[in-house]
Amino acid sequence: MVPVVKVEHVLECVSRYFSQNELLHLAAEISSYHRIQGTEDLEKAAKFIADVLSGEEMPVEVLEYSYSESHGSYQPVAGWWVRDSELWLVKPYRKPLHSFRDSRTAVVAHSPGGTVEETEVVFVGRGEDEEDYGNVDGKAVLAYGSPYTVYKVASKLGASAVLLYRRNAPDTAVPYLGLFLTPEEAAEARTLAFSVSLRTASLIKELIRKGRRPAVSGYVDAGYRQEARIPVVTTAIGTSSTELHIYAHICHPGATVNDNVSGTVTVIETALALWRAYRKKYLATPDKHTIRFLFFPEYSGSMAYLEERGANNVVFSVNLDMVGEKQEVTGSTLLFIRPPPSLYHKYEALFYTMLRRTLSRTTTFAGLLNTISYRFDTSPYQIGSDHDAYIHWGIPSIMINQWPDRYYHTDMDTIDKFDPYTAKLVGVAVGAAAYIASRREYSGYIDVIDVFYKQLYIGEELMRTPYEHVKERSQFLRDVLEGKMRGSIQQGTCRYVGPKGPISRRTLIRLLGKEYRKYRELVEEDKVMDYVVRGLIPLFGSRENFTVQSLAKRLLLELGLRVDEKKFEKSLDLLKAAKLVVCGDEPPELRK
């Protein structure tokens, strides 16, 4: 059969073999696994995905990496299992609070197992500093701070349990929180860690305020595994030496869907749709790039894969993370998140165009043109998912994501809030764009799209740029998008020497110790600094030497970010204290 040529026919072909009903079935199946990093259920979910793909005779490869080793900036994590938990208020009266049966998020990920009996609860506020506590030996503490930090402090002071909640979660939602302990930390862990709703936290605080001295009883049936494996499932269409990657992370709690079962099943169904059309000869064999689909745990899997396989043959990539939401329920907007402009690739224009086409489901007032039927916007590079790994390896990557989501990382992120129709539109767009990019016959079409998209890109970015820098940034964007940037704009004697990838907060806590408090106060005062320190200094500061002034200028031109240089200097001092940045004549040893 003659290969399809018209773009419209490619979209129709992918849509024909993309099953919305199958998508919903896959979402129900995969969400039944409690897919926390380091668990057997995560490995089972990966096997299920591999079986689905191989069941249609796709060439499937299942790779495994060790959680006991670092992969880029992703630090070792203990293997873990959990079966059950209950938490009861037992004084001043008896009341069931939460259970693992009702909420897979009720146990903080990587909590040790054990029991507590009639244990008094003490409210310690944020709970990240020892001065937040009084005598909590043998007691349970209620806190809203960083779970890892609260856990470390409360354990040191002898607390038998921590009850953690999130102040911005819906009132009755039990939040998804995690400790993600290293194997060494897990070996010493004894304090139980429960996640509670804002309503439960308010009840306990009110009882404390009234002097009623609330007490809880409960248990966690959980423990640690000797050796957990990081599963990576991959399949591909084509045999070209260069590749396009379409990927999604498969981890997170059982019964939760939008994050990120939605992205996972959309990638599965996109792969199946292209494969079915290819097998039936409606679509020709890719002759320019192989299309590779990947499924892995967030950060651990993407970093391990790129670390082993390398990045030289990957020309472009797409991250699907939270893509199928009922916007009127979750309050979200579908976002097309770009890489930094210095990593621009013309395939970005292609994927953007295809996404706009599939989302345009209604017409104008006169009925002459199609218009977007969803809340949709573009965004400069944001950190927070596996596209970070690709970008830190120098691979252009977009992320398609829905945000904000009022049920994010809670037990209320359930399948009733998932919209398979929206997920299909995203999958069809991504599948069609990937196929078009993989075939040489569409090169001219892509070049035309690229010209017009760059104009849109620059116009949108200048609207986000401080007025006094519009002219300078406009010229920078034109140069970089056309591949004309003349050398480095950075200079100096400082360089980031940490492992490749963004820095996690846990890493900063471990490396800075008590000095981490200075970092926390700095980023609370200016949230941009957290983005700069954890994501952008490792990205740009590992490639070229810099000073505070030269890197601040780079961030302004790349991303339109105006950075306070005094705060930047303070953050740089903290990174030097953590030995992640060296300046001057210091030896540039890589920090493990």
- Position 443 scores a pLDDT of 95
| Strand ranges across the sheet with 114-123 | 95-99, 79-91, 215-225, 114-123, 140-143, 161-164, 192-195
> Average pLDDT for residues 173-186, to the nearest whole number?
98
> Average pLDDT for residues 389-418, to the nearest whole number?
98
> Average pLDDT for residues 441-455, to the nearest whole number?
96
Give me the percent of the chain exceeding a pLDDT of 90.
92
- Position 364 scores a pLDDT of 74
Per-chain mean pLDDT for the chain:
95
> Average pLDDT for residues 229-253, to the nearest whole number?
98
Query: Residue 110: is its pLDDT beyond 70?
Result: yes
- Position 5 scores a pLDDT of 61
- Position 555 scores a pLDDT of 95
Query: Residue 468: is its pLDDT beyond 60?
Result: yes
Comma-separated ranges of CATH 3.40.630.10 domains in the chain: 7-75+229-447
Q: Tell me the β-bridge partners of 175.
A: 410
> Average pLDDT for residues 100-104, to the nearest whole number?
98
Comma-separated ranges of CATH 3.50.30.30 domains in the chain: 79-225
Query: Residue 67: is its pLDDT beyond 90?
Result: yes
The answer to whether the peptide bond before residue 258 is cis (omega within 30 degrees of 0) is no
Query: Residue 397: is its pLDDT beyond 90?
Result: yes
> Average pLDDT for residues 190-218, to the nearest whole number?
98
Q: Strand ranges (DSSP E) for 413-558?
A: 495-496
Residue given tokens 């959309």 in the structure block: 266
Q: Of 314, 311, 301, 293, nearest to 246 (Cα)?
A: 293
> Average pLDDT for residues 413-436, to the nearest whole number?
98
> Average pLDDT for residues 332-351, to the nearest whole number?
97
- Position 488 scores a pLDDT of 61
- Tell me the per-residue pLDDT of 118-135, one tens digit each, with 9 for 90 and over: 999 999 999 999 999 999
Query: Residue 591: is its pLDDT beyond 60?
Result: no
Task: Please state whether 94 falls in left (phi above 0), alpha (psi between -120 and 50) or beta.
Answer: beta
* pTM, to two decimals: 0.96
- Position 1 scores a pLDDT of 39
Query: Residue 556: is its pLDDT beyond 70?
Result: yes
Range name among 86-90, 337-341, 526-530 with the lowest pLDDT average: 526-530
What superfamily would CATH give domain 7-75+229-447?
A: Zn peptidases (3.40.630.10)
Query: Residue 266: is its pLDDT beyond 90?
Result: yes
- Tell me the per-residue pLDDT of 473-514, one tens digit each, with 9 for 90 and over: 999 999 999 988 755 666 788 999 999 999 999 999 999 999
> Average pLDDT for residues 316-321, to the nearest whole number?
98
Query: Residue 2: is its pLDDT beyond 50?
Result: no
Candidates 3.50.30.30, 3.40.710.10, 3.40.109.10, 3.40.50.300; correct CATH number of 79-225? 3.50.30.30
Count the helix, strand and coil residues of the chain and give each as a percent rounded to the nearest 5.
Answer: 40, 20, 35
Query: Residue 162: is its pLDDT beyond 60?
Result: yes
> Average pLDDT for residues 294-303, to the nearest whole number?
98
> Average pLDDT for residues 26-42, to the nearest whole number?
98
- Position 3 scores a pLDDT of 42
CA-derived radius of gyration, the chain: 25
Q: Of 251, 348, 362, nearest to 297 (Cα)?
A: 251
